[in-house]
Amino acid sequence: MFEFLKRKKKADAAGAPKPSPSTPIKQSLLSLEQRLMFDAAAAATAVEVKSEQVAQEQAEAAVSTEASHETTGAETGESQDVLSALASYMPTESRTEVVFVDPTVPNYQELLAGMSPNTEVIMLDAGKDGVQQIADSLAGRTGVDAIHLISHGNAGELQLGTSHLTQESMTDRYASELAVIKESLSEQADLLIYGCNFAEGEQGGRAATTLADLTGTDVEASVDLTGSAGKGGDWDLEFKVGQIETSLAVGQVAQENWADILAVHAVAVADINNAPTDLSLLANIVAENAANGTTVGTVTGTDPDSGDAKTYSLTDTAGGRFAINSSTGALTVADGSLLNYEAASSHNVTVRVTDSGGLTYDEAFTINLTNVNEAPTVTSNGGGAMASVTVAENQTAVTTVTASDVDAGTTLTYRITGGADAGRFTIDRGTGALRFATAPNFERATDAGRNNVYEVTVRVSDGRGGTDTQRISVRVTDVNEAPQITSNRGGDVAAVTIRENSTAVTTVRATDPDRGNTVSYSVAGGADAAKFSINSRTGALRFISAPNFERPTDTGGNNVYQVVVQASDGRGGVDFQTINVSVTDRNDIPHELDFTGGTVAEGAPRGTLVGTAIVSDEDRVDTHTFSLVDDAGGRFAIHPRTGYITVADGALLDGSNASSHTISVRVTDAGRASRTEAFTINLTNVNETPTNILLSGNTVAENAAPGLVVGQASTVDPDAGDTHTYSLTNDASGRFSIDSHTGEITVANGALLDHEQTSSHTIAVRSTDSGGLMRDQAFTITVSNVNEAPTVLNLSGTTVAENAVNGMVVGTAAVIDPDAGDTHTYSLTNDAGGRFAVNASTGQITVADSALVNYGSTSNFNIAVRVTDSGGQIHEQTFTISRTAGNLPGSLAPIALPSMGVHEGAGSSSPDPSSGETGGGSRPPEDLRRSQSIITETPFLVEALSPERAPTRSAPIESLDDLLENAGGEEFLEHSSSRSGESGRAQGQTWLDPARIGEGGPPDAKESELRPVQADASAKTDVAMTVGIAGVVLQGGLLPKEKLTALGSRLRGNVPSPISGHDVGADGPRPDGEESLPQDGSESDKARSS
């Protein structure tokens, strides 16, 4: 119903015919409409039934009124519309209005108290974004008819929690939140803004209009101060966008009573941190493939808190492509390899700005990429800067170079630009086909390195400056080719001539173009093939039995032997050659050389027989001479006639270096025919004594724990790999032990390791090898000094005389320290309550406070002496010092004192010559702001104090209250006063405990502990009298008058009459202007007397 009425009213405002004022039914309808709008907030309350009843009665009245009047056609139509609306009115429907209140509004409770109890009120959190809070609270709702925003405002600005709603933030930061709010509103919803000056001027008008557009509401806002008239405000919302049907939420009484205004400056005291409201990016374009660190632009944050510090971060780095400087906001490239224009022409990043209070604002930015001509990339043969290609020899085709280019439409061309073997290649510029200019031959490599690896560099170009190169290594592989026999001039047939009695014929040699092939040889045929053998590896062709010219065995019987040999590469390639061997007559060389023996012990002496060279020769009557072509580096010799091989230098026969040696023996016959053979002589091992023992460590700390490793012994032995066992032939009298297997030397008895007694010890290590040979070696183990704590303290004297003075020597502390020559310092951890002191350097114990030593019931004092050595080790010992009887006088004569001034503060009094009295007066120190002088006309008498009653502390006593606080010991002061010619006398005594008087100042006391004593029998009147009490302080047994300390007190005593000139019993002022003290003995009396 209300929506219809609002639309009806707006239609009227737009120019629809308006009812005449004289038409009663129209007036009644308008009155009804107005009533329904104002009461809409109460329609859904607990009085809903009553409201619906009233509305129903009004509707019925309206119908009745209309039926009893005549109207024009237009009027009838309008009335019919209203009646139709009333007929469709649903009693359960009510108007929904929500009031949002910023808690920074002063005394906002007064404003809420004036609102309808049915209005929905939501309090914002001042520490959070208010716009966000409003959107969250309205999310999912519909049909809200009005929103009231009660907060502080300024021209074009409304403060809501930490947010500031401005035209700029509406369209940017809060566009999505305002869209949520719009979804919750009814079609004709109103938005009332109470903040001061929100719609003021052009800026405010634009802000209000923008808000109306974004929320789809009719907006009503203030153009001046909103609030108390006393502060220049009012409750009129002067600026309107659209037709407003909603009344102010603040009631009339609240408007009149509320004493503040809703201006922004009114909440300055709250000093609430506001979140940043905006981010801007100076530039957002960067070239693809830009180098890491390239600056894209600078992000700048907007914060309502002027001067607030900001830090920047990326919550979305576009997959690691970008980074941001946290301080400056500079947005830079983090990984330029990911910036590919062809893959994606832009990327999104999200920037977060955080203010000093931790509040944040996020905003997304699009970074656009610019296209950069990109060089083509060689992709063939695996791509990359280098590639390898393998081709077989004897062909020209190598590979086809291919490339890709991300820039579409680019034509690529290829060319050879370099390489050590560039001249041996060609390339097709269009297709990239790479070829050898001449087919390579593996066996005759022509590459620069002569290793069949040809180097060439190719380049691909896109014609626009983009190029890529690739260095190609072309490896030429071998193709199997048959070997060719080249020995004996090569060819299919060869002739060889040898002398009789020789088995060696020739060495068949073949070449194979295929490098790395192994050529093997064999006898393939021939008339006399059975008489030959050939070394398959070396090609050495031999007679199986040496031919004898005189007895030929060839097929023809003419000393010409025929054999066919074959060379094979093992891969199917073969070559044959027929060899005709002609045998001629000659002196026969020794045909066999043998060797008997061949074993000798290492280190054998010179001349030791090793073996014998034995020769066989068909020339039976021939003579032979032996020599060594290789004597194994001078180790062996041979007898030229007998062939005995002996040791030439046994020192060179070391089995640990070489277990065998090779010699070459030559035998020469009389015809100078010779044969040479190599023989191996084996060495037998001889165990040798170890030559040295090494120790890895030779220092150990004194008193080291048993088992502590000192070092490890190791053995040097000519016999490599020999094993050894260890023992100690001297263990330094049980101080050390050794592990028989590892040689590890450890401490056996650390108690015997005393640096102060012996700083080093000698041990003897024995190493025994597996053969039982041994070596002994002595080592010196150094014992390092370890600081040890002092062990004993002695005190030369432990008594002190009762009359001792400060500084008197009691005794000297002496220390016993295992570390000879160590230095020590002394201190007292217990000085017997300040009675004694110690000299830190000498250890001399002296009296520190003679007063504490000389007096008191205690005659034995415990002190604790601590001695500290140079290494920080300490030893502490307690001693008892006994006090012996002294020679102080038993009594002191009375002393006449001058009249004394009594002060509340500390300090000694002094005579006042200006008083004119016999003893003079007393004037308090000028620096004491509070003082009370009690002047007497005659001197006081202070009774002599015996040593038994002397005070035991020489500190000045500042106030009676302080003094008496700690009363309770055995010592006491006795005070007295007397006047000439008077029979009265008052005494008071104060009990003192010296142990309760601290070092830092006078003790505290309670006046109530002052104890009066019985007055003389001659006293007549019991009156209160204020007297001066002189306390005598002894120092070193002396009693000088200047050491007296004056105290003030009240004592109750007996005197016949008051002291002349002083009214000690009256409450009024005294003659000298000082206030007299009350005499009733009350607590106030006592407090004032102090």
pLDDT digits (tens, 9 = 90+) for 393-424: 999 999 999 999 888 788 999 999 999 999 99
pLDDT at 373: 85
Q: Does residue 738 have a pLDDT over 60?
A: yes
- Cα–Cα dist 385/401, whole Å: 13
The pLDDT confidence band at residue 926, using thresholds 50, 70 and 90, is: very low
The per-residue pLDDT for range 807-845, each reduced to its tens digit, is 999 999 999 988 888 899 999 999 999 999 999 999 999
User: CA distances (Å), 73 to each of 19, 29, 31, 708, in order?
Assistant: 12, 17, 21, 125
CATH assignment of the domain containing 113: 3.40.50
| Contact partners, residue 365, CB within 8 Å, separation at least 6 | 279, 281, 284, 299, 348, 349, 350, 351
Largest CA distance in the chain: 185
Give residue-wise pLDDT tens across range 970-1011: 333 333 333 333 333 333 333 333 343 334 333 333 333 333
Instruction: Answer whether residue 69 shows pLDDT above 50.
Output: no
pLDDT for 95 equals: 87
The answer for residues whose C-beta is within 8 angstroms of residue 799's C-beta and 6 or more apart is: 810, 881, 882, 883, 884
Note whether 699 and 784 are within 8 A (CB). yes
Beta bridge partners of 897: 940
| Half-sphere exposure for 536 (CA within 13 Å, toward CB) | 7
Q: pLDDT exceeding 70 applies to what percent of the chain?
A: 72
Which of 943, 958, 951 has the alpha carbon at shortest distance from 1037? Answer: 951
- Residue 894: per-residue pLDDT: 35
Q: Which pair of tokens denotes residue 446?
A: 């022509």
Crossing angle of helices 175-184 and 201-215, in 10° steps, is: 60
Report whether 578 contacts 562 (CB < 8 A): yes
What's the rounded mean pLDDT across residues 534-540? 96
Asked if 222 and 199 touch (Cβ cutoff 8 Å), the reply is: yes
Q: What are the two backbone dihedrals, phi and then psi, of residue 814, each rounded to the nearest 5 degrees? A: -120, 140
Residue 152 has pLDDT above 80, yes or no: yes
Task: State whether 396 and 501 are in the same domain.
Answer: no
Contact, 999 vs 953, CB < 8 A?
no
What is residue 75's predicted lDDT score, i.e. its pLDDT?
40
Q: Do 512 and 619 fall into the same domain?
A: no
pLDDT value of residue 93? 52
- Structure tokens, 439: 């087919």
pLDDT value, residue 265 = 53
Asked if 232 and 101 sit in the same domain, the reply is yes
Model confidence at 609, in pLDDT bands (50, 70, 90)? Answer: very high
**Cβ atoms of residues 643 and 627 within 8 Å:** no
Last residue of a domain, one of 477, 501, 523: 477
Measured in residues, the chain has a length of: 1090
More confident residue, 419 or 282: 419
Tell me which residue has tokens 């001066």: 1028
CATH number at residue 701: 2.60.40.60
Residue 567 has phi, psi (to 5 degrees) of -110, 130
Give the SS3 label for residue 109: helix
The reply to whether 22 falls in a domain is: no
The helix/strand count (H/E) of the chain reads as 13, 68
579 and 491 both lie in a single domain: yes
Given this model, what pLDDT does residue 117 score?
76
Backbone phi, psi, residue 656, to 5°: -70, -20
pLDDT at position 693, please?
95
Indicate the residue among 634, 651, 684 that finishes a domain: 684
Q: Is the pLDDT of residue 53 over 90?
A: no
Asked if residue 857 has pLDDT above 60, the reply is: yes
- Residues 743, 807: one domain? no
Cα(722)–Cα(737) distance, integer angstroms: 23
Across residues 160-168, what is the average pLDDT?
92
φ, ψ of residue 421 to 5 degrees: the values are: -120, 30
Q: Say whether both 799 and 870 belong to one domain.
A: yes
- 121-135, 298-312, 942-956: range with lowest mean pLDDT: 942-956
Please check whether residue 1069 lies inside any domain of the structure: no
Residue 985: inside a domain, yes or no?
no
Question: Are 572 and 679 contained in the same domain?
Answer: no
User: Would 163 be classed as within a structural domain?
Assistant: yes
pLDDT at 1040: 32
pLDDT of residue 271: 61
Q: 424-438, 683-697, 1019-1033: which range is least confident on average? A: 1019-1033
Instruction: Give the span between the Cα atoms of 971 and 996, in whole angstroms.
Output: 12
Residue 34 within a domain: no
Residue type at 950 in one-letter notation: A
**pLDDT confidence of residue 86:** 42
Q: Does 252 lie in the same domain as 113? A: yes
Query: What mean pLDDT value characterizes the chain?
Result: 76
- pLDDT tens, position by position, 899-917: 333 333 333 333 333 333 3
Averaged pLDDT, 529-541: 96
User: What is the domain extent for residue 325?
Assistant: 277-370
Strand partners, 669: 624
Please give the average per-residue pLDDT across 465-493, as a whole number.
92
Residue 1065 lies in a domain: no
Query: Does the residue 928 lie in any domain?
Result: no
> What is residue 641's DSSP assignment?
T
Spatial distance between the Cα atoms of 439 and 426, rounded to a whole number of angstroms: 12
Q: Flag whether 1077 is in a domain.
A: no
Over residues 455-472, the pLDDT tens digits come to 999 999 998 889 999 999
Q: pLDDT of 1018-1033, one tens digit each?
A: 333 232 222 333 333 3
Both 103 and 236 in a single domain? Answer: yes
- Cα first-last separation, the chain: 90
Tell me the residue type at 1053. Answer: G
Task: Indicate if the pLDDT at residue 392 is higher than 90.
Answer: yes
- Give yes or no: residues 631 and 658 share one domain: yes
Q: Which has the closest alpha carbon to 97: 180, 184, 196?
A: 184
Residues 706 and 764 both lie in one domain: yes
Residue 374 confidence (pLDDT) = 84
CA 445 to CA 474: how far, in whole Å? 12
Last residue of a domain, one of 841, 863, 883: 883
| DSSP H or E stretch at residue 59 | helix 48-67
Taking only the tens place, the pLDDT of each residue in 319-376 is 999 999 999 999 999 999 999 988 899 999 999 999 999 999 999 999 999 888 888 9
pLDDT digit string, tens, across residues 629-680: 999 999 999 999 999 999 999 999 988 788 899 999 999 998 888 999 999 9
pTM above 0.75, yes or no: no
CA–CA gap between residue 843 and residue 824 (Å, rounded): 9
Q: How many domains does the structure of the chain reveal?
A: 7
Measure Cα distances from 169 to 174, 177, 883 in Å. 6, 11, 92
Greater pLDDT, 889 or 637: 637
Question: Would you tell me how many other CB atoms lie within 10 Å of the CB of residue 262?
Answer: 31
State whether 126 and 242 are in the same domain.
yes
Give the phi and the psi of residue 809 in degrees, each rounded to 5.
Answer: -80, 130
